[in-house]
Each structure stands twice: as structure tokens, then as C-alpha cells.
Amino acid sequence: MSNNIRFDSTAFLANAGLGRTIVELKPRETFFCQGDTADSVFYLQKGRARVTVVSKNGKEATITLLAAKDFVGEESLATIVGLHLATATAVDKCTALKINRSEMIRVMHDEPAFADIFLKFLLARSMRSQADLVDQLFNSSEKRLARILLLMAEFGKPGRPDTFIPPITQETLADMIGTTRSRVSFFMNRFRRLGFISYDGRVQVHKSLLNVVLLDQLPDQNARKPAILPILQVPSGK
């Protein structure tokens, strides 16, 4: 252990120091953009963010959501310094620790306790990516929407009550699950009617929505071409 002093991973990730700075981001501000030099890793202390990619023809897709205690920008640790392949953007007000590449490599090498935390995060992200792929390949768009809402509400974490999701547009939700805005509007109204979510300025997700994902409990009727009900406006975050 360096200098015979026990390394405190929690303190390292909570405070600025050599090679580390605290950054504050407003909603829609970016941590980094697709094509930027990958020279830093960010540790999200507070807030929510999302990671998106843009195709050559300008189509944007959200590939993952970030919450407190997530890392982003891990591609900066590649042997050869490259470019970020995606854009990380704050969904609401965020506080993050920006760790430069050389300091991140040093602490990964010198401090096994920190390396263990980071490797566990990478494993969890890999498992999440596999689950996302299975979800996209085999589940209905309605079930995919239910899963995204539960992830945004951070269900499964200890002590989480019925939770409000951060502001997000129906267009973004549609992009994330691979469907249209009109379908998202239909499903959101349906979830509200069934008591799975509430809406009064912000969307609140209830634990009963888990039944859609875990038990596939939905009424039998699931029209392929549903009539569009009065649109439930999900906050735009603007």
C-alpha cells in the first residue's frame, strides 16, 4: 500500500486532489462529446446523466443512463489515447469528480481497493449492456418502456420509495426503446390508467410497474394500432 497508509476509496471519490477536480453541470451540459479526446474519467457523485451516440446521418440514440456512483469515460484508460465514441450529457443538475487519465491509471495500479470498486462497476455495466440487448431483441416496446422507467426511478436500490424520474421527453424515451412517440404516449397513458405511474407535473413510478417486467402482468388487450389518447406530456427538461 502506498506510503503504508490505508487508502480510502470513498474519500478519493468524494474530494478534489492531485489529478482530480469537482465539476458542476447544469441540465443538458456535457461531460464530454463524441469525438473529443478521451483523457479523463468522470465519477458521478450527484444527479442523472445519459450517454448518446450520433450516426453519420445525424440520428441520435441513447445507449445508457447514468446515476450517482456510476463512472463514465472509461475508454480513456485504453493503452493508446483515443477519442470518446459517445456523448455524456447531464439530465438534471450533476456533480462529478473528473479524474485525469494518468491519475486514474496510477490509482488503478497502486490501490487494489479502488481497482476492485472500478472493476465491479465495469462488470455491472457489462451485465446491464447484455440485459439491454436481450430487452431490445425479445421484449415488446411496452415492456421495454416499463423497464426504462424503473431504471430511471432506480428501483432495486435499498431504501428507494416510489420515485420521480428526471425530466425527459417522450421523443427521447421513444429513441431509447426503438419505437415512436405516439406509442410512448399511448403506453404512458395506459400505465397511468392502470396505476403503475402517477403524473402531476412530474412522472412518479410505482412499484406495481415491476409486475409488467417481472410477471408480464398487463390486460390481455394490447392493440397493435392503438387509438391515440390525450397525450401525457412528459417534462421536456427545458
Fold of 2-135: Jelly Rolls (2.60.120)
Say if residues 76 and 39 touch (Cβ distance below 8 Å).
yes
How many CB atoms neighbour CB 21 within 10 A? 12
Instruction: Provide Rg for the chain, Cα atoms.
Output: 20
Architecture of domain 139-215: Orthogonal Bundle (1.10)
pTM, entire model = 0.74
3-state secondary structure of 217: coil
Q: Which amino acid is at 45?
A: Q
Say if residues 149 and 165 touch (Cβ distance below 8 Å).
yes
Can you give the pLDDT of all 238 residues of the chain as single tens digits? Answer: 445 578 999 999 999 999 999 999 999 999 999 999 999 999 999 998 989 898 888 888 888 889 899 999 999 998 788 899 999 999 889 999 999 999 999 999 999 999 999 999 999 988 888 887 777 777 888 988 998 898 888 765 655 555 888 888 888 888 888 889 999 999 999 999 999 999 887 899 998 888 887 766 665 544 444 444 444 444 444 4
8: left (phi over 0), alpha (psi -120 to 50) or beta: beta
The span from the CA of 212 to the CA of 140, in Å, is 11
What is the domain partition of the chain in residue ranges? Answer: 2-135, 139-215
